[in-house]
Amino acid sequence: MIALVDYGAGNLTSVRKALAAIDAAVFTPDRPGALEAARAVIVPGVGHFAATRPLDEGWRAAMHAGLAAGRPLLGICVGLQWFFDGSAEEPGLPGLGLFPGVCTRLGTGTPPALKVPHVGWNSLTLPRASRLFDGVANDAQVYFTHSYAAPVVTDTVAICEYGVPFSAAVERGLVSAVQFHPEKSGDVGLRVLKNWVQGLTDQRTTAGAR
């Protein structure tokens, strides 16, 4: 089963419904140690970066240990931001540090300030092939709601532009994350989730063949 982490800030109901629609079984762990029973872990999130504070050293250690043991991670929205070093939204509160860089506020540069938060449908640019976006067209539309965004990095596999380009998705090894909400992005969002779940099977098959 897939562990859907509840730290008080995620849209768990919608994520559960989307995963049920693709026949993926989930449970909500009540402590970090419960992640050991999971085949993979999802860290969702909405709202302020400060909401990640309950993901303390116990959860951090469990997620790092899970990665070392071959357990994939998926972040959604604030979950993606938490996978970076941190966010200017809550200086001093570290992220998990799986990707380099700090998330910054949208709409503060040039061209003139845009309405923030960035809410609604926007298109993706896919700079290279990735597991998450297999079968997804370049310029596909997905649903966003956020005020801060992660920089474009080496591991960025989808870019969106709202005043400035930002990481709409990142992927490296066992770690994947999306800034948009796949559970609210219709068929494209379900395809992304299906691709991630299918990747769990592929990774298990590959590991078993070694």
pLDDT tens for each residue of 25-81: 999 999 999 999 999 999 998 889 999 999 999 999 999 999 999 999 999 999 999
Q: What is the pLDDT of residue 207?
A: 43
- Find the mean pLDDT for residues 102-113: 79
Q: What is the pLDDT of residue 210?
A: 32
Query: Which residue out of 89, 90, 171, 183 is catalytically annotated?
Result: 183
Q: What is the pLDDT of residue 120?
A: 97
Pairing of β 2-4 and β 26-27? parallel
Q: What is the pLDDT of residue 109?
A: 63
For residues 205 and 82, which has the higher predicted lDDT (pLDDT)? 82
How far apart (Å, rounded) are the C-alpha atoms in residues 114 and 102?
20
- Residue 110's pLDDT band (cuts 50, 70, 90): low
Residue 111 has pLDDT above 70, yes or no: no
Tokens 């976006």 correspond to 133
How far apart (Å, rounded) are the C-alpha atoms in residues 37 and 26?
11
Residue 150 has pLDDT above 70, yes or no: yes
Residue 177 has pLDDT above 80, yes or no: yes
48 has catalytic annotation: no
Of 82-86, 157-161, 205-209, which range is least confident?
A: 205-209
- Residue 11's pLDDT band (cuts 50, 70, 90): confident
Q: Which stretches does DSSP call E strand in 50-155?
A: 73-76, 86-87, 102-105, 118-123, 141-146, 148-149
Query: Which residue out of 90, 160, 171, 181 is catalytically annotated?
Result: 181
160 has catalytic annotation: no
Distance of CA 51 to the CA centre of its chain: 15
The CA-CA-CA angle for residues 22, 23, 25, to 5°, reads 125
| pTM assigned to the model | 0.94
Residue 206 has pLDDT above 60, yes or no: no
3-state secondary structure of 14: helix
Q: What is the pLDDT of residue 112?
A: 59
Average model confidence (pLDDT) across the chain:
93
183 has catalytic annotation: yes
102 phi and psi angles, rounded to 5 deg? -120, 135
Give the chain's domains with CATH numbers. Answer: 2-208 (3.40.50.880)
3-state secondary structure of 180: coil
Query: Which residue out of 48, 64, 77, 90 is catalytically annotated?
Result: 77
How far apart (Å, rounded) are the C-alpha atoms in residues 95 and 78?
10
Q: What is the pLDDT of residue 78?
A: 97
The CA-CA-CA angle for residues 8, 12, 13, to 5°, reads 130
- Residue 203's pLDDT band (cuts 50, 70, 90): low
Q: What is the pLDDT of residue 10?
A: 73
